[in-house]
Amino acid sequence: MKRALLLAGGILALLFLEKKRPLRRQRESQAVRDTRNLAIAATAGAVAGLLEGPAARGAAAVAVQHRLGVQRLPVPRLWQDLLAILLLDYTLYLWHVGTHKVPWLWRAHRVHHADLDLDASTAIRFHFAEMTS
């Protein structure tokens, strides 16, 4: 719950800053775009949570129980956390590159790029098939 609130707070802060200093004139209503992007994100999140949630929680429990991954490194917990975040970010970058290069991944990913006015809400706009592939 804390993470969801932190994520929502970050997105709201970005939306506020974008409203105060827009880079260009908007092409469609902010309310319409935000509603659509939140609906797309909620659908993708719900599908991914239902299909992948149990497996992800189980894998995480096994990793913690057996001290797998960065937990094995003989460094302070803060460094383990930072490395885990960097590795996660790098794998998400590689995934994003792949969604542009692999045709069947691009078909789902283009929902993200079809937004006429890119802003912080675009960051959560993903097709449910992309979230579960």
Mean of per-residue pLDDT scores for the chain: 89
- What number is the average pLDDT over the span 110-121? 86
- Kindly indicate the confidence band of residue 100, based on its pLDDT and cuts at 50, 70 and 90: very high
Length of the chain (residues) = 133
Mean pLDDT of 63-68: 90
Cα separation, 59 vs 81, in Å, equals 17
Q: How far apart (Å, rounded) are the C-alpha atoms in residues 57 and 59?
A: 6
pLDDT of the residue at 121: 81
pLDDT higher than 80, residue 49: yes
CB atoms within 10 A of CB 39: 11
